[in-house]
Amino acid sequence: RLLPHPALKRVVVALLPAPCSRFLWSQPDQYRTNKFFLGASVGTLLGLGLCQLLIVPMNITEMRKVQISYGLAGVTALGWATSPHFRCASLLVAPKFLGKEGRVYVLSFVLAAIYNGPVANIWHNLEEVTRSLGCVAELQVNHSRQLWQVSTAPLRKVMEDMAVSGQTLGAEMQNISRAFVGLNEEVASEEGYDLQQRQHPDPQLAPSTQQLYEMKTKLRCTYVIELGMQRCWDWFSAKHDACMARVVVPLISHLLCLPMKFKLLCHIVKIMHSWCWDKIPVEGNFGQMYDLVNNSVSNLSQEFSASMLLGANVSAEQLMEEVTSHLQQHGAHLGQAISFFRLLLSCTFLLVFISAFSYTKQYCQDICFDNLYITTYFRQIDARRRKQHKRTLLPLRRAEVSAVIFPCRLAVQPPELQSMVLEMLECIPPLLLLLLACGLDHTLFTMLSIIQQHSFVQYSFHSSHHLAVHVTGTSLMARLLRSTIGALNTSSDTQLETSNVACLPQPQSMTRQQYVGSCLPLAVLVLLCLAQVYTYRLRRAIAAFYFPKREKSRVLYFYNKLLQQRQSFVHRQRKRITQRARQHPGLGRLLLEWCCRRWPRLHRWMHQSCMVCGVPVTPQDRVCPVPACGAQYCRLCWREVGSVCLACTPGDPSLTQDSSDEDAGYAA
């Protein structure tokens, strides 16, 4: 029994012991128990490996991970133990991952490398630009603050001294208020006169302080005179009573005590009444002065407090807050978009499994699917037909070689070249994206480097002043002025040297390792496109190992298909050559043929090709034996046409139909 894959079997037999090779190529009904347990073990290990690769990185609970892992391991174990289709599809995951489906998954790493490489460096340099602008703004604010502090230093010193001496000033004001209390009580007092004697002026006109004080003074003066008169009367009465008590003789006592009856002498004091009302010494502006002093003392008696707020509350964060927040928002949105896109591309790993099972299904159902390989079994069929002297296919014609694949050849063949070129074209968009990102990063780095080298500025600030204010005197106002305005006695000498070195941008360029890390995933993607040629050949080998009978029928079908195509091609070429031979040649062709017969050396300068397939002929190829014909055939076509020239024998009816060799039948 010829196996469809003897080359693979020879390799396995050479590498593994004989029992292992017999076990691998045993019939389906042999070693069933061993195959069941071995398949279950391999399936379990494969399921656990897939869980470690796919399930563990997921952001789910540990219990859910364990449940999914057990379920996946159980499914793979059962599939490997019972189904060859499942085993075949599981092994096809490896070549599929290296094929088109796997490249979609690798594309996520390409985008991640671009984002973590040049895009991240561009973002870092943009943040450096923001920092530089903020530093420049802060430097300008600091310079303005220095100028403001120098210009307002005297006033600020006055305000600070007033704020510090606020308690002292308050205590002095309280002392003044307490000293004024006595005068205030004296002016406002109702004592010293008889209230009944007070005259009531017009109630509609409120008397002034001057009028009230003059009235009170006059009433007090009158009250003092009357009080003196009353005391005088009381003194005379007391002396009269004492005299009467001392002298007991009635008549003598009255005579001796008669002078004590002269109380009329006390009325002499009434002469002072006119002086009290006309000559009382009260200044005319006393009331107005009292009102002014009273208001001033009332204001000074209030609590004294002082606070100072000088300067400008400006910071670089406030100036650059909008720019920074704008950059942060865009950075967050870009990071979220990249993360979401990578998540979608990571889910494409499922396409690898779906594609592997789909290939197994189509391999077993569609006999034309991926059936273009010249395998060892194909060569065995051709060798067997050659021994039976039947029509063979090998070696193939040039037109046939472009439509088949020799799996053991390392060179890329025409059917594979077209697919590989299309896959390489799909790598152009990520390549352009990488070049664009690297170009923008290099341009931004170059611009910032130029700014760093040619934007150095040094600032020099000099300031000096001397102010002297002298306040003389010992009064309260003088002391107040010395404690306030006296603070203007300041002098300063300021010299400031600064530069914008700290504000210059510090751009960061990508290192060689970063460039390699950014380009490596794309290089892997390109290598996968090149390796796809060989991984696609491996798919057929894996499927042929699990389904040898199906592979045999597919190879037989492909061999018979090529055999039929070649027979149809030869038949069409016979008709074409016969029709052309029946046509009368033109004058130019007749002249060319005559020249070639006249000078045979001209044949080497003419383009000579096979009459059937058009392949350039060699000296070893066949030439029509008829001298007048000279038609040339390659060895394959000469054998196919039955060693008979089709150009000089067009009328032979046996040449218009299939020869006896063509009726030999198809391979079986």
Q: Over the stretch 147-176, which tens digit does the pLDDT of each residue have?
A: 777 777 766 766 676 666 666 666 666 777
φ and ψ of 496, to 5 deg: -125, 125
φ and ψ of 373, to 5 deg: -105, 135
Provide the b/e sequence for 573-607 (b: ≥16 CB within 10 Å).
bbeebbeebeeeeeeeeeeeeeeeeeeeeeeeeee
- How many Cα atoms within 13 Å fall on the side-chain side of residue 606? 17
* Strand, helix or coil for residue 333: helix
- 112-121, 379-388, 471-480: least confident range: 471-480
- Look up residue 534 and give its two tokens: 């060989």
- How many Cα atoms within 13 Å fall on the side-chain side of residue 77? 12
* Residue 130 identity: T
Distance in angstroms (rounded) separating the CA atoms of residues 55 and 48: 10
Taking 50 as the threshold, does the pLDDT of residue 664 lie above it?
no
**CB within 8 A of 663, min separation 6: which ones?**
none
How many CB atoms within 10 Å of residue 636? 21
- 49-63, 199-213, 251-265, 438-452: least confident range: 199-213
Contact 108, 345 (CB under 8 A): yes
- 8-17, 131-140, 191-200: least confident range: 191-200
- 121-130, 190-199, 309-318: least confident range: 309-318
pLDDT in tens, 519-559: 999 999 999 898 888 888 999 988 988 888 899 999 999 99
Averaged confidence pLDDT in the chain: 77
Taking 70 as the threshold, does the pLDDT of residue 472 lie above it?
yes
- 30-44, 307-321, 463-477, 598-612: least confident range: 307-321
pLDDT (mean) for 589-594: 66
244 — alpha (psi -120 to 50), left (phi > 0) or beta? alpha
Taking 60 as the threshold, does the pLDDT of residue 626 lie above it?
yes
Taking 60 as the threshold, does the pLDDT of residue 197 lie above it?
no
Q: Which residue has the higher pLDDT, 166 or 479?
A: 479
Predicted confidence at residue 61, as pLDDT, reads 82
Predicted confidence at residue 571, as pLDDT, reads 76
Predicted confidence at residue 367, as pLDDT, reads 92
Distance in angstroms (rounded) separating the CA atoms of residues 241 and 247: 10
Distance in angstroms (rounded) separating the CA atoms of residues 509 and 441: 8
pLDDT (mean) for 231-244: 83
pLDDT (mean) for 340-365: 80
Answer whether the bond into residue 203 is a cis peptide, omega within 30°.
no
Taking 80 as the threshold, does the pLDDT of residue 395 lie above it?
yes
Predicted confidence at residue 344, as pLDDT, reads 67
Q: Which residue has the higher pLDDT, 500 or 340?
A: 500
| Position 244 confidence tier, pLDDT thresholds 50, 70, 90 | confident
pLDDT (mean) for 402-406: 90
- Look up residue 51 and give its two tokens: 């869980």
Distance in angstroms (rounded) separating the CA atoms of residues 478 and 485: 10
pLDDT (mean) for 119-143: 85
What is the greatest pairwise CA distance in the chain?
217
Predicted confidence at residue 582, as pLDDT, reads 63
pLDDT (mean) for 287-313: 63
pLDDT (mean) for 420-449: 92
Please give the share of the chain, as a percent, with pLDDT higher than 70: 71
For residue 657, the Cα-to-chain-centroid distance in whole angstroms is 75
Distance in angstroms (rounded) separating the CA atoms of residues 61 and 482: 78
Taking 90 as the threshold, does the pLDDT of residue 121 lie above it?
yes
Q: Which residue has the higher pLDDT, 565 or 432?
A: 432
How many CB atoms within 10 Å of residue 128? 18
| Position 4 confidence tier, pLDDT thresholds 50, 70, 90 | very low
Predicted confidence at residue 371, as pLDDT, reads 92
Contact 659, 386 (CB under 8 A): no
pLDDT (mean) for 360-380: 91
Taking 50 as the threshold, does the pLDDT of residue 189 lie above it?
yes
- Look up residue 420 and give its two tokens: 């590989």
- Look up residue 88 and give its two tokens: 């075949």
Q: Give which of 268, 270, 263, 186 is closest to 226, Cα–Cα.
A: 270
Taking 70 as the threshold, does the pLDDT of residue 667 lie above it?
no
